[in-house]
């Protein structure tokens, strides 16, 4: 049971960080060309939490859609 829980947590963390990276690259395309400049701006403006907050909102929405689809597909499988 604990192993199954660990696998689920690892999978969800992977999804979260993929969303985090995708959102970062979409909103800050200069991360690929000048990552140190972007990090200096982040430190200067003290915007430490906003990337995690935006990622959490998008992750929550995607999780909600996934669970609704799982529920609907579960109804049709029976």
The pLDDT of residue 21: 93
SS3 content of the chain, % helix, strand, coil (to 5): 85, 0, 15
In order of 11, 24, 68, the CA distances from 63 in angstroms are 12, 19, 9
72 secondary structure, DSSP code? H
CB 20 within 8 A of CB 55: yes
**What's the CA gap between 15 and 12, in Å, rounded?**
5
| pLDDT tens-place string over residues 26-66 | 988 888 888 888 888 888 888 788 889 999 999 999 999 99
CB 20 within 8 A of CB 50: no
Q: Where are the domains of the chain?
A: 2-77
The pLDDT of residue 41: 83
Could you tell me the pTM of the whole model?
0.80
């Amino acid at each position: 049971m604990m192993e199954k829980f660990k696998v689920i947590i690892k999978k969800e963390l992977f999804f979260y960080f993929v969303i985090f990276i995708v959102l970062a690259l979409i909103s800050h395309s200069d991360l690929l060309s000048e990552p140190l400049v972007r990090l200096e701006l982040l430190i200067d403006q003290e915007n430490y939490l906003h990337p995690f907050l935006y990622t959490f909102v998008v992750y929550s929405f995607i999780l909600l859609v996934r669970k609704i689809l799982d529920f609907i597909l579960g109804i049709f499988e029976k």
